């Protein structure tokens, strides 16, 4: 039960409300007698807007959440004896309860290290070189997360380098874009520059952490890869019968750059949080702050005291690295409240 005074602002970007634009769109779409199962005009317009935004004739599918988007996209790319190369901190490895393995019916995740949540190509090379004949799984996909689980963003050149590596070994490139908007905001580039232009085949594009109640998109930049994906979604329970209520708020995000403004705000707030933690509270920042996450090193005593003052957020890496996540909804006042508590405790 939620106790009085608990504050979950920094626990995740999904502790935020639905953003006002999405909420209004949901209300406006609340009419009787509309077509079901994605045959509605909101869904059609979301797909068109995505094609405009990415400047590509891509195939677009709406699913309920990011785990389904990732797992089903990977299942679409891989047979059961083929494997997915990904970072050891990737969400598909650490936070999806084996959904990628389950939906691919046996694909293995081949884990790669790398600084700041980004795949180290040399290490990927070495791991792939060990999977060289039919006694091992056949590497078939590289999955990268943008922005990464550690709050950094792959640059255009870094993605191009991974993509070139992938192309040389005939691997598909999948991007988990649960926080893709934050990466675009950080890099200030057109969406195509860090996706299909840089060799990404499939993007799972997050809406939930950007301000929706639910709903993620799976975008295939090569149409021949999406064959019968609609059947795969339906079988997995991911075909929304009232899809318009996922689509209408999505359309609001994609109108007047709400998606980008929400992400820019979250990134700005994270930078402010990091700067003030360093200068006013003498707290160490662990990874470069490029998107909307701030990773800090904090001792147990400060953590316990912050907890007593109501602040809720997670330890991410043992023994003492914590994640502070900033959403579109976090305010300058929230930052000031938090800094004031941390500074008091860490004097
Ligand atoms: C939140 C998140 C997802 C999606 O998670 P769901 O809870 O299934 O919606 C996927 N990838 C990353 C990196 C995430 O942070």
- d(CA 108, CA 78) in angstroms, rounded, equals 10
Residues 216 and 263 in one domain: no
Residue 263 token pair: 């992400």
Residue 286 and residue 156 share a domain: no
Structural domain includes residue 73: yes
Atom of ligand 1 nearest to the CA of 149: 13
Cis? peptide before 15, omega within 30° of 0: no
Residue/partner pairs of 314-321 with CB below 8 Å, 24 or more apart: 314/11, 314/12, 317/286, 321/286, 321/295, 321/296, 321/297
Number of domains in the chain: 2
Pair (73, 122) in one structural domain: yes
CA 105 to ligand 1 center in whole angstroms: 21
Digit-by-digit pLDDT tens for the chain (347 residues) are: 445 589 999 999 999 999 999 999 999 999 999 999 999 999 999 999 999 999 999 999 999 999 999 999 999 999 999 999 999 999 999 999 999 999 999 999 999 999 999 999 999 999 999 988 888 989 999 999 999 999 999 999 999 999 999 999 999 999 999 999 999 999 999 999 999 999 999 999 999 999 999 999 999 999 999 999 999 999 999 999 999 999 999 999 999 999 999 999 999 999 999 999 999 999 999 999 999 999 999 999 999 999 999 999 999 999 999 999 999 999 999 999 999 999 998 87
Residues 174 and 49 in one domain: yes
Measured CA to CA, the distance from residue 120 to residue 116 in angstroms comes to 10
Cα(113) to ligand 1 centroid in Å equals: 20
Question: Has residue 8 been placed in a domain?
Answer: no
**Residue 249 sits in the same domain as residue 264:** no
Q: Which residues line ligand 1 (CB under 6 A)?
A: 65-67, 70, 91, 145, 149, 176, 178, 208-209
Give distance in angstroms: CA of 18 to centre of ligand 1. 17
User: What gap in Å lies between CA 210 and CA 106, rounded to an integer?
Assistant: 32
Closest residue to atom 5 of ligand 1, CA basis? 66
Q: Is residue 12 part of a domain?
A: no
CATH number, domain containing residue 185: 3.40.640.10
Is position 289 within any domain? yes
Query: Domain range holding 35?
Result: 20-253
C-alpha angle with apex 321: 319 to 324, nearest 5 degrees? 150
């Amino acid at each position: 039960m939620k106790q009085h005074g608990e504050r979950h602002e920094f626990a995740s970007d999904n502790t935020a409300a639905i953003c006002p634009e999405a909420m209004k769109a949901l209300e406006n779409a609340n009419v009787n007698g509309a077509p079901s199962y994605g045959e509605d005009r909101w869904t059609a317009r979301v797909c068109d807007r995505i094609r405009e935004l990415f400047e590509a004739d891509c195939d677009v599918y709406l699913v309920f959440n990011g785990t389904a988007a990732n797992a089903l996209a990977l299942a679409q790319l891989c047979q059961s004896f083929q494997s997915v190369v990904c970072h050891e901190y990737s969400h598909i490895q650490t936070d999806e309860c084996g959904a990628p393995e389950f939906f691919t019916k046996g694909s293995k995740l081949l884990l790669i290290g790398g600084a700041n949540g980004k795949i180290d190509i040399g290490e990927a090379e070495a791991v792939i070189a060990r999977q060289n004949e039919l006694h091992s799984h056949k590497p078939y996909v590289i999955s990268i997360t943008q922005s990464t689980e550690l709050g950094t963003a792959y640059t255009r050149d870094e993605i191009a380098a991974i993509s070139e590596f992938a192309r040389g070994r005939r691997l598909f490139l999948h991007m988990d874009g649960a926080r893709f908007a934050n990466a675009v905001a950080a890099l200030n580039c057109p969406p195509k520059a860090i996706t299909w232009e840089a060799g990404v085949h499939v993007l799972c594009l997050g809406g939930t952490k950007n301000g929706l109640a639910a709903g993620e998109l799976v975008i295939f930049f090569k149409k021949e890869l999406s064959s019968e994906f609609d059947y795969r979604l339906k079988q997995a329970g991911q075909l929304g019968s009232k899809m318009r209520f996922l689509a209408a708020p999505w359309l609001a995000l994609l109108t007047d750059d709400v998606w980008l403004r929400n992400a820019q705000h979250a990134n700005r707030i994270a930078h402010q949080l990091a700067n003030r933690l360093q200068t006013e509270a003498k707290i160490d920042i662990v990874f470069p702050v490029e998107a909307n996450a701030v990773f800090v090193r904090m001792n147990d005593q400060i953590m316990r005291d912050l907890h007593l003052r109501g602040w809720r957020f997670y330890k991410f890496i043992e023994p003492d690295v914590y994640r502070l996540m900033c959403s579109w909804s976090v305010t300058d006042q929230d930052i000031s409240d938090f800094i004031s508590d941390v500074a008091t405790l860490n004097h």
